[in-house]
Amino acid sequence: MKKHTSFVCQQCGYETPQWYGKCPSCESWNSLVETIKDSQIQNSKFRIQNGRQIKPQKLSEVQHIEKNR
């Protein structure tokens, strides 16, 4: 297992790999606290996001939203 250091905002729970003086999410000052976790390397072809596995999709199945820039 490899040690993984991250910083978690005590106000909103935002997690980042590096320390910032101000949380990028909720903009509260000095609220990021260092946490150390054991991380396991996963043998997965697909990325895991928010606890669920991302699977490839056909382009015809992807929904898109048009927005003005």
Give the predicted TM-score (pTM) of the model: 0.53
The list of the chain residues with pLDDT below 70 reads 1, 39-53
What pLDDT is recorded for position 20?
Answer: 94
DSSP string, the chain: -EEEEEEEETTT--EESS--SB-TTT--BT-EEEEEEEE-----SS-EETTEE-----GGG--------
What pLDDT is recorded for position 42?
Answer: 57
Domain boundaries, the chain: 2-61
What pLDDT is recorded for position 26?
Answer: 95
What pLDDT is recorded for position 37?
Answer: 81
